[in-house]
Copies of this chain bind each other. A is one copy, B any other.
Amino acid sequence: LTIAGWLDRWKTNPQAAARDLLDRQQKRIAKCAAGKTPQWIHLVALDVLEAQINELLKTDANDLPLYGVPFAVKDNIDVAGMPTTAGCPEYAYTPDSDAFVIAKLKKAGAICIGKTNLDQFATGLNGTRTPYSIPHSVFSEAHISGGSSSGSAVAVALGEVAFSLGTDTAGSGRVPAGCNQLVGLKPSKGYISTNGLIPACRTLDCISIFAHTVDDAQNVLAVAGVYDPEDPYARQAQPAVTSFSSTNLKLATFSNLSWFGDTQQQAAWNAYVAQLAARGITLTEIDPTPFFALAPLLYNGPWVAERLAALSEFVAEQPEAIHPVVREIVLSGKKFSAVDTFNAEYQRADLARKIQQALSEFDALMVPTAPIFPTIEALLAEPIKLNSELGTYTNFVNLADLSALAVPACLRDDGLPFGITLIAEAWADARLAAIAKQLNQEQATIPPLRHDEIELAVVG
C-alpha cells in the first residue's frame, strides 16, 4: 500500500484499519519469534502499538499528512523506548527520546512498527554484514538485499510498511532500492537532521527514504526535511531548483559504463536506455574521471577515520563484538594522519568542484544504481571486492555534495529488478523527483510486482 492507500483506509474505516494493523503486527511478531523475518531486529509490542493507535484515533485523519501510516526505521536511528543496536547486539542501548526526524514523522501521524536490520554500523552496501539473519532481495532468495539499509528496503518491498528510513553515506539508501525495485531518496546533505543517528561518517551521513513511489518519498521528505538548529551539519534548504524542459530533458550518463561482467545488469540498462530513446529521451556521455577519482577517498582514504571516531571507545573495549569485515574497515582509520586528512580534503574539494561544474550543464546525471547484482554466496566469498563494485555509481555522491534519487527502471531477463539513479547538485531533490516521474511515466514508480506481506525466507 502507498501512503495514499493507507490514508484512504483510515479515513474509510478507522476501526478496521486499526484492527488490520494490529493483526498484521501480531503475525509479524510470531514470524519474528520463529526467526523468519531477517528484515526486522525489533518489532513494537502489540500493547504499545495499540496504545499508539488509540491515541491517534482521537485525532481526525484529515489533520495529519501521515495519519496512521506504518513505517520502519533502520536500527542505527533512535526511536524512544526501542533498543538501538546498529546491527551489533553488544552495542545496544535504549534511548529515552526520538531522533529529530522520528519525532517529526510521529507528529505527522506516522506509526513506527519496528527497527530494521542493516550492515553493521552502516558499513557496507550489500546487507550481509550482520550478526542477525541475512536478508535477501524480495525477488530472489539467493540474491543480496543490498545494504546497508537492508531491512528498511525489504520491509517496504514486502508491503509491511508504506515507507521506511534508511541512511546513506556511500549509497546505503540507493543500492537496496535497486535490489528491491523501490524508490530510494538520498536527500541533499543536511536536509534531514542526523540528530539521533549513530554516525558512520558524520560529515557525509544522510538519512534516506524508501518508498513505493516518487510521490510517497517526496511526501515523507516534506515532513522529515525540517531544519534542525541543534544539528551542526543541518543546512537551511535552498529554494528547490525544479526548472527543466520536459520536452528537452538534458540527461548525462558516463561514457564506458563498467559492469564487472554482469551481463544481465548491462542488458537491462541497454533495454531501458533504448526505451527512453524511443520516446525521444537521449543521454549525453560525459567523462567519469573526476567522479571515479573521488569515490576511493571514502573507503581507502581518511574518511574511514570518521567511522573509527564514532566507535573508538567500543572498538577499544569490545573489538570481538564487531563483525570481522566491519572491524577491519573501521580499524583502517588508524593509519591516517591529520596531514593525510587535509590533503584528501583538498583533493575532495577540487574534484567536487569539477564534478559540480560538469553536472551544471545537465538537468541530471543518470547511472545504473549498481553495476552488479550478486548472490549472497558470491558476496560472502569476496566481501570487500564486490562491495566496492556495488558502490561504483553511488560512492562519490556525498563527497561531491550531490542529491540523488534511485528509482526502478525495468526487470532483467532473469526477473530480478534493475534500477537507475538520478543525480544532480545539492538541493535539486525536487527536480530529480520530477524527472524520475517523467522517465517512468509515473506508472513504473508503482511497482509492477506487489509483495504485500510476502513471507521472506531466511538465508545465512
Distance from A347 Cβ to chain B, minimum over Cβ atoms (Å): 9
CB pair B342 A203 closer than 8 Å: yes
Q: Determine the residue in chain B with the shortest Cβ distance to A310.
A: B342
Identify A337's interface contact among B338, B345, B352, CB under 8 A: B338
Distance from A317 Cβ to chain B, minimum over Cβ atoms (Å): 16
CB pair A349 B305 closer than 8 Å: no
Task: Please name all residues of chain B whose beta carbon is closer than 8 Å to the beta carbon of A203 when the two chains form the complex.
Answer: 342, 345
Does A97 sit at the interface, judged by CB under 8 A? Answer: no
Please report the C-alpha to C-alpha distance between residue A341 and residue B339 in the assembled complex, in whole angstroms: 9
Count this chain's copies in the assembly.
2
Please report the C-alpha to C-alpha distance between residue A342 and residue B334 in the assembled complex, in whole angstroms: 12
Does A54 sit at the interface, judged by CB under 8 A? Answer: no
Task: Please name all residues of chain B whose beta carbon is closer than 8 Å to the beta carbon of A349 when the two chains form the complex.
Answer: 232-233
Distance from A310 Cβ to chain B, minimum over Cβ atoms (Å): 9
Please report the C-alpha to C-alpha distance between residue A339 and residue B201 in the assembled complex, in whole angstroms: 11
Distance from A323 Cβ to chain B, minimum over Cβ atoms (Å): 20
CB pair A302 B338 closer than 8 Å: yes
Task: Please name all residues of chain B whose beta carbon is closer than 8 Å to the beta carbon of A285 when the two chains form the complex.
Answer: none
Please report the C-alpha to C-alpha distance between residue A203 and residue B357 in the assembled complex, in whole angstroms: 20
Does A314 sit at the interface, judged by CB under 8 A? Answer: no
CB pair A339 B229 closer than 8 Å: no
Cβ proximity bits A337-372 to B, threshold 8 Å, 1 near / 0 not: 111111101100110110001000000000000000
Distance from A315 Cβ to chain B, minimum over Cβ atoms (Å): 11
Please report the C-alpha to C-alpha distance between residue A388 and residue B50 in the assembled complex, in whole angstroms: 61
CB pair B345 A338 closer than 8 Å: no
Does A333 sit at the interface, judged by CB under 8 A? Answer: yes
Please report the C-alpha to C-alpha distance between residue A302 and residue B309 in the assembled complex, in whole angstroms: 14
Please report the C-alpha to C-alpha distance between residue A329 and residue B440 in the assembled complex, in whole angstroms: 58
Find residues 174-225 in chain A having any chain B CB closer than 8 Å to their own CB: 202-203
Task: Please name all residues of chain B whose beta carbon is closer than 8 Å to the beta carbon of A339 when the two chains form the complex.
Answer: 305, 308-309, 312, 333-334
CB pair A202 B338 closer than 8 Å: no
Task: Please name all residues of chain B whose beta carbon is closer than 8 Å to the beta carbon of A312 when the two chains form the complex.
Answer: 339
Does A306 sit at the interface, judged by CB under 8 A? Answer: yes
Q: Determine the residue in chain B with the shortest Cβ distance to A357.
A: B229
Q: Determine the residue in chain B with the shortest Cβ distance to A345.
A: B203
Task: Please name all residues of chain B whose beta carbon is closer than 8 Å to the beta carbon of A343 when the two chains form the complex.
Answer: 309
Please report the C-alpha to C-alpha distance between residue A428 and residue B302 in the assembled complex, in whole angstroms: 34
Please report the C-alpha to C-alpha distance between residue A233 and residue B203 in the assembled complex, in whole angstroms: 17
Please report the C-alpha to C-alpha distance between residue A232 and residue B290 in the assembled complex, in whole angstroms: 13
Does A260 sit at the interface, judged by CB under 8 A? Answer: no
Find residues 291-342 in chain A having any chain B CB closer than 8 Å to their own CB: 302, 305-306, 308-309, 312, 333-334, 336-342
Cβ proximity bits A118-145 to B, threshold 8 Å, 1 near / 0 not: 0000000000000000000000000000
Residues of A that sit less than 8 Å from B by CB? 202-203, 229, 231-233, 302, 305-306, 308-309, 312, 333-334, 336-343, 345-346, 349-350, 352-353, 357
- Give 10 pairs: A residue, B residue, CB < 8 Å, sorted on A: A202-B342, A229-B357, A232-B350, A233-B349, A302-B341, A305-B341, A305-B342, A308-B338, A334-B339, A337-B338
Other contacts beyond A202-B342, A202-B346, A309-B339: 10, CB < 8 A:
A203-B342, A229-B353, A305-B337, A305-B342, A308-B338, A308-B339, A336-B337, A337-B337, A338-B341, A341-B342
